[in-house]
Structure 1
Amino acid sequence: MNNVSYKQDYLRHYNLEDTRLMTQPLDYLIDMFFNCKIDMLQFMSISACASTIQYALAYGDFKLDQDQAPKDDYASFVLAQNCRNIKIQNYLEQDKKEIETQAAISKNQIVRSTENYFYQQDATYARHDSQAKFLQYWTESTTTEVILQITSNRTT
C-alpha cells in the first residue's frame, strides 16, 4: 500500500510541475499586459501582442507635455566624396543590371512571339499548300477524265 501511495504522489507532483511549466509563460505574458496596460483580447496573434508590448516598453517614459526638442549632442554624419562616389557607382550598376534583365525578358518575349508567328505561318502555308495540291490533283484528274470522255465520244 505504501508503494501505491508513493506512485500517486509521484504522478501528482509531476503533473503539477508539467502544468506549472506550461502555464508559467502565459502567466508572465498576462502580467506584462497588465503592467503595460494593454488589452490582450484586442489582438488576434501573439506576435501582435508582442509588438504592442515592445512599443509600450520603448515609449513608456515618453511624455507629451515635456519638451521634445532634438538633442544636438549626437555626432553628425558627413558623407565623404569617396563614399558618395561608391554609392553612385553601386546605383548605376544596379540600374544597368535591371536594364539588362528587362532587355533579356523583352527579347525572350519577342523571340517567343516571332516563333509563334512563323509557326502559325508555316501551319497556314502547309494547309494552303496541301489544299492547292489537292485542287491541282482534282483539276488534273477531272480534266483528264473530261478529255477522255470527249475523245471516247468522238471515236464512237
Structure 2
Amino acid sequence: MTLKKFVRDIGGGTMTKGRFPYEYININNYATELNKSEPFPREAFDNKLKNKSISEAKSQEYLVEAAKYATRWDQARSYNIQDTRIMIEPIDNLIKMMFKYKIDMLVMFSMSQCANAIKYSNAYDDFKMNGDYNAEDTDKPINITIPYWTAKVESYIEQEQKKNRDSSKNVTIGDYEYFKELFEKQRCFICNCKFTWKNRPTLDRINNELGHSKDNVLPCCLYCNNKHDKFNGFVKDFMQQRADAKSQK
C-alpha cells in the first residue's frame, strides 16, 4: 500500500503530504540549494525514476505554498514534519480498529494477518446466533425406504459389536416410521442442513459410551457425523452455542 492510499483509506484523507523535490537535493548541493530563498525551479521536481515531470497546475500550487517560507530550509523542515504527521492519523485509526475488533497485534505481527482477522470479524457483524444461514437446497429430498433403514440398523449393530457396546437397546427395523418422519421433518443438528440424497442422514450418538438407542441419538448428516470429532475446541463451542440459541428460539 502506498502512502497516498494509506492516508486515504485508513486516515480518511484529511491531510496531504505537500511537495518537495527530494530527488533534486543531494549530499553535494544541499547546503547551497537549501540556503536559497527563491522557490525551487519546476525542473527540480522531475522524477527521473518514473520519467515524469510536474504539471503546470501542480507547479503553480507549489509556488503558492512556497511563498509562505523564507528559505528552502523552511520548506524542507515543514515538509518533513508534514511527512511524519500525515502518518499519525492513519496509525491512530489502526490502533482504534485493533481495539474495536480485539485484534492481538502481539500475536499477529503482519498487517496482512491483522487485516484478515478484521475481515472475518466484519463478516460476523450482523451474524445472529440462532439465524438460519443455509441456502435452500435444490437436491432431491431423500425418501427413506425400508431396505435403506434396514441397512442402517444392521450397520449400527455391527458398529456396537466392533466396539463391544451393548446393542440390546439399539434402534430397530420397527422404528422405521418414526425415523422416516424425523429425517423428513428435521435437519442435521450440527449444520442445520436438510437431508437429501446428496446430504444423507445418519444417527449421531449423544453419549459415545452407549449404543445407537432411540434416546441416545440425534439426526446428523453424514459429513458432520464423520467430521465433528475432528473439529477444534473453538468450533465445538461455537456449535454448542448455536444449538443452545436455536433451542431457545
TM-score range, shorter chain: 0.3 to 0.5
| Greater relative contact order, per chain length (Cα 8 Å cut-off, separation 6+) | 2
Provide the TM-score with structure 2 as the length reference.
Answer: 0.24
TM-score, normalised relative to structure 1 = 0.36
User: Greater strand percent: which structure?
Assistant: 2
The structure with the largest alpha-carbon Rg is 1
